[in-house]
Structure 1
Amino acid sequence: MSLETVKMYFAALGRAQDVREFAVSSATVDLAAQALNVEPARIAKTLSFQNNTDGNCILVVAAGDAKVDNGKFKRHFGLKPKMLTPDEVAQLTGHAVGGVCPFANPAGVKTCLDISLKRFATVFPACGSSSSAIELNCDELYRYAQALEWVDVCKSWQPEYND
């Protein structure tokens, strides 16, 4: 159902043909990178966090090699980063873990993009299933995800951390 919802979303934008489906799993960064034959850092992973202020969730889309920095997250959002359980993810986003994406989410879901993505010409977010993706540039990702803002809440992706 979730993949179909995302495909309908992209159909309305004239981009349904760009949604890629795989015969293999793309549920993790490494599996998605293998399915797409790209470096793992170019996988735009969508991380789901509790939003205690309104009972919804915050989605942070980050590069595949980035990790959330708890201090940066807390300073930016004003709350401690607490990831959703798989049941909460499905309930709040309509997507199951492994296919969570920044597209076609229910009203109230806040989506932000981490600056770790900006170093790539294109990235590959999932499309609502554990075997799908779409290639987008950062401007397209921002627009199609209906992102609220670019944030700097991740670590370990800058060259000084990747020795």
Structure 2
Amino acid sequence: MHKNAIRFRETLLSLGESGAVQETAETAHTAADAAATLGVPVAAIVKSLVFRVDGEPILLLVSGVNRVDTDLVAEYLGAPLEKADAALVKSATGYSIGGVPPLGHPAPLRTLIDEDLLELDELWAAAGMPNAVFPILPARLVALTAAEITRIH
């Protein structure tokens, strides 16, 4: 297992979670790729996307079938929403784009979660690498990230 996936697994264990990180043979470049590899609906894939608001990073946890409506989210936040560059993603999360998990960052990030994710029984999210994932219940994801539930799309 790659060191980033191991580090994330240790984070899960420290939070009392199972640490059930799975590495897949193929790198998932899209939510559809990840869903096909895992045999789950695309909607169950959590995309962890970092944006910038007022110069600060913010994490959006988005269903694999949805695209972020930046105007809608900016209205919710009361400030413009800008996509973060790779350097900000890495410094804010400790992980590179494609492997960003929804939790376990160097410092807690303000987090918004797509309300559509709460309609599912189980979610799958990146675990530190593009080919590493972990399952989590929606309520646990909200609790562990202190996410604000909102409409994202």
- Give the TM-score of the pair, scaled to structure 2: 0.89
CA deviation vs aligned residue, 1:32-63 (integer Å, no higher than 9, x gap): 112211121211111110122xx431111011
| 1:108 CA drift (Å) | 4.4
- Which residue of structure 1 lines up, in the alignment, with residue 150 of structure 2? 151
Supply the distance in 1 between the matched residues of 2:4 and 2:77 (Cα, whole angstroms): 28
Supply the distance in 1 between the matched residues of 2:86 and 2:23 (Cα, whole angstroms): 22
- Which residue of structure 1 lines up, in the alignment, with residue 66 of structure 2? 66
Gaps of 5+ in 2: none
Which runs of structure 2 are paired with 1:63-142 in the superposition (5 Å)?
Answer: 63-142=63-142
Supply the distance in 2 between the matched residues of 1:153 and 1:19 (Cα, whole angstroms): 27
Is contact 1:2-1:94 (8 Å) kept?
A: no
- Which residue of structure 2 lines up, in the alignment, with residue 29 of structure 1? 31
- Which residue of structure 2 lines up, in the alignment, with residue 41 of structure 1? 43
Is contact 1:46-1:61 (8 Å) kept?
A: yes
* Aligned residue identity for 1:148: A
| 1:2 CA drift (Å) | 3.1
Gaps of 5+ in 1: 155-163
Q: Which runs of 4+ in 1 moved over 6 A?
A: none
Secondary structure at the aligned position of 2:81 is classed as coil
- Give the TM-score of the pair, scaled to structure 1: 0.84
Supply the distance in 2 between the matched residues of 1:128 and 1:82 (Cα, whole angstroms): 23
Is contact 1:100-1:129 (8 Å) kept?
A: yes
Q: CA RMSD in A?
A: 1.6
Is contact 1:123-1:138 (8 Å) kept?
A: yes
Q: Percent identity, aligned pairs only?
A: 25
Is contact 2:53-2:80 (8 Å) kept?
A: no
